[in-house]
Amino acid sequence: MPDYKLLTPGPLTTTDTVKKEMLFDHCTWDDDYKKITLWIREKLLELAHVSAPEYTVVLMQGSGTFGVESVITSVVGGEDTLLIAANGAYGERMEDIAGHAGIHYLTYHEDYNKIFSAEKIEQLLDEHPEITHVSLVHSETTSGILNDIAAVAKVVKAAGKTLIVDAMSSFGGVDIPVGELGIDFIISSANKCIQGVPGFSFIICRTDKLTESAGKARSLSLDLYDQWKTMNKDGKWRFTSPTHVVLAFAQAIRELEAEGGIPARAKRYEENNRLLIEKMAKMGIRPYITEHQGPIITTFYYPEHHNFSFQEMYQYIKDRGYAIYPGKVTDADTFRIGNIGEIYKEDILKVCGLMKDFLDGQDADSAKKHTEDEGCLCAD
């Protein structure tokens, strides 16, 4: 069986104890199971620093995008206008979602290596009084940048608009005071910083904003309000629930608590990230983000090495136990390394060592080739 750890931003490497939970085929309709769903929903409120009845939680089948699509297509009404702030592929995906659903929207595009300007958003809200909702990504996994949601929340809330945050790759790995910031809908998924396996997303919602959305959804299966109405009664999922994923997620939450909660996990991720960037710098490999680098994933420029092939390096490292990630920014040749999941200092040191071995090997190869070429010239 192939065996490697994932240095990708989710799915990520999970513990054996999380995976073991999936060995049981749980019944979905009985109280035991429904209690697990209710327990998860309560725990998510705690992790977001909010409480009922002001806030509530909806779990939604599917990957993270299903959660984002569920929120956007359920809460932005026919007469409403959404302002999307985008500085990477996941922000742009929100435009795609709005476009597919025929939602009125406008976009504030920012450079991939810059965070959103709260002043710019304030100005747009001023110029476009038709805007009712604002959505943005917290940790833009495309580049690894961490947007300043506190600054944006301040202007959005001052203008009285609804705020939707895609915190897919940050929730659980970066502490977010959801209530204090006044975030109305915040979305993440099972397979990111809570360290569960893929299969559902979750949305922490202001209860009043959620109930206002009743009847607005454009999709049946992604209807956020309807999903909540069923789940909020006694924990029953509206359609088949991803039982194995739910059991694994409950275990992942227990393990997050055992680690010391979000502050401890955030510290581990930050230390992994700092060490990674430091070790890479020693090899002359520079990060793409120079300001506001987040603690989740880092984009690096290709080493300035004449015959560098990402594919060869990827294979070399994978054969030795780690899977890294190709780049996704559009304006430079890059690759990415995630440092979330069951990943520790030793792993970061190991992967940097492998990268160094690979690059040294290439240097040796090209030096050898160089000598051979010279040999040929001498013979001439």
Ligand X SMILES: *Cc1c(COP(=O)(O)O)cnc(C)c1O
To ligand X, the closest distance from the beta carbon of 379 in angstroms equals: 56
Subset of 240-259 contacting ligand X (CB under 6 A): none
Q: What is the 3-state secondary structure (H, E, C) of 250-271?
A: HHHHHHHHHHCHHHHHHHHHHH
To ligand X, the closest distance from the beta carbon of 150 in angstroms equals: 18
Site string for ligand X, 171-200 (x = CB under 6 A): ------------------x-----------
Rounded to 5 degrees, φ, ψ at 125 are -65, -35
Is 322 a binding residue for ligand X by CB under 6 A? The answer is no
Length of the chain: 380
* Chosen residue from 56, 61, 141, 147 binding ligand X by CB under 6 A: 141
Is 166 a binding residue for ligand X by CB under 6 A? The answer is yes
Residue that the structure tokens 């694994």 belong to:
248
Selected range binding ligand X among 34-42, 63-71, 156-164, 358-366, rule: CB under 6 A: 63-71
Tell me how far apart the alpha carbons of residues 174 and 85 are, in angstroms, rounded to a whole number.
20
Selected range binding ligand X among 46-54, 77-85, 108-116, 162-170, rule: CB under 6 A: 162-170
Nearest to 229 by CA among 246, 205, 250, 248: 205
Q: 208-244: buried (b, 16+ CB within 10 Å) or exposed (e) per residue?
A: ebbeebeebbbeeebbbbbbbeebbeebebbeebbbb
Q: Are 238 and 61 in contact (CB under 8 A)?
A: no
Is 339 a binding residue for ligand X by CB under 6 A? The answer is no
Site string for ligand X, 71-100 (x = CB under 6 A): -------------------x----------
Is 10 a binding residue for ligand X by CB under 6 A? The answer is yes
Q: Which is nearer to ligand X, 45 or 68 (CB)?
A: 68
Distances (CA, A) of 113 to 57, 195, 271, 328: 32, 27, 22, 12
Is 168 a binding residue for ligand X by CB under 6 A? The answer is yes
Tell me how far apart the alpha carbons of residues 170 and 47 are, in angstroms, rounded to a whole number.
12
* Chosen residue from 56, 61, 63, 195 binding ligand X by CB under 6 A: 63
Contact set with ligand X (CB under 6 A): 9-10, 63-65, 90, 137, 141, 166, 168-169, 189
